[in-house]
Amino acid sequence: MEHIALINKCILNDRKAQETLYKQYFPKMYIMCRRYTQDDDKICQIINDAFLLVFKNISKFESKGSFEGWIRRITFNSLADFFRKENKNMKFLLLEDNHPNCTNQSRTDTNDDYDDILSKINTLSGSFKEVFIKYAIEGYNHKEIGEKLQISEGTSKWYLSEARKKLQLLFQNTKASLEYGG
């Protein structure tokens, strides 16, 4: 319930509450961004842009899913936007929570390879897909995934490993099919 009180104070533009929220989630968002760049200045800029959006839109949070997941999604979108501005050819996989086969609506400049990767990820089922997306796309670590999915850290690692094997097979089969005209 402390969590809801903090959100409500942020909705009222309470600067102390905003600072508390920022300090609480900054380390996790930093780790997530660090997967994509080692430049601390860029990471701080991305996180600051994300938190500006968090505070601007916090009243829209509907308590469907975790608040941390909502912040991660905003941070990841800020990360993608930052690198799109720097490199027009860079693509990020943006997956919507409300529909398993949809990508972010702002993704209008996709190509066949991008769609192919996404379709292969969507062939994963159940925990394989959940763990893969949480780890490889959303930036959660195995301990966090375990807590969220109520599985052990080791089980999370196993699901990721198996998901990667399945995806590798799919990519190998596609490559073999293309090489042999299948």
Q: Same domain for 124 and 59? A: no
Are residue 41 and residue 74 in the same domain, yes or no? yes
The H-or-E segment that residue 89 falls in is: none
Please choose, from the candidates 34, 56, 60, the residue with its C-alpha nearest in 3D space to the C-alpha of residue 47: 34
For the chain, first and last CA: distance in Å? 57
Provide the domain limits for residue 148: 92-182
Domain boundary, last residue among 61, 90, 119: 90
- Local confidence band at 96 (pLDDT 50, 70, 90 cut-offs): very low
Same structural domain for residues 125 and 149? yes
Q: What pLDDT, on the 0 to 100 scale, is given for residue 116?
A: 67
Residues 84 and 100 in one domain: no
Whether residue 163 is predicted with pLDDT greater than 50 in this model: the reply is yes
pLDDT at 151 over 70: yes
What confidence score (pLDDT) does residue 154 get? 93
Residues 79, 100 share a domain: no
- In this structure, the answer to whether residues 11 and 33 fall within a common structural domain is yes
The predicted pLDDT at position 148 comes to: 87
Residues 149 and 84 in one domain: no
Determine which helix (DSSP H) or strand (DSSP E) holds 42, and give its type and residue range: helix 40-57
Decide if pLDDT at 16 tops 90: yes
Radius of gyration of the chain (CA): 18
* 15: three-class secondary structure by DSSP: helix
In angstroms, what CA-CA distances link 108 with 18, 93, 94, 104, 182? Answer: 34, 12, 12, 9, 29
Residue 179: give its domain's CATH number.
1.10.10.10
Residue 180 pLDDT level (bands cut at 50, 70, 90): low
- Domain check: are 45 and 99 in the same one? no
Q: Within this chain, do residues 77 and 98 fall inside the same structural domain, yes or no?
A: no
Please check whether residue 10 is in contact with residue 55, taking contact to mean a CB–CB distance below 8 angstroms: yes
- Residues linked to residue 103 through DSSP beta bridges, in sequence order: 95
Please say which residue of 67, 90, 113 terminates a domain.
90
**Residue that finishes a domain, picked among 39, 67, 90:** 90
Residue 134 · residue 166 · CB < 8 Å: no
Q: Residue 2 has what pLDDT?
A: 64
The pLDDT confidence band at residue 111, using thresholds 50, 70 and 90, is very low
182 pLDDT above the threshold of 70:
no
Number of structural domains in the chain: 2
Task: Return the amino acid letter for 134.
Answer: K
Give the Cα separation of 112 and 117 in Å (integer): 9
Q: Which residue has the higher pLDDT, 106 or 15?
A: 15
Q: What is the CATH number of the domain that holds 69?
A: 1.10.1740.10
pLDDT digits (tens, 9 = 90+) for 30-74: 988 888 888 899 999 999 999 999 999 999 988 777 888 889 889
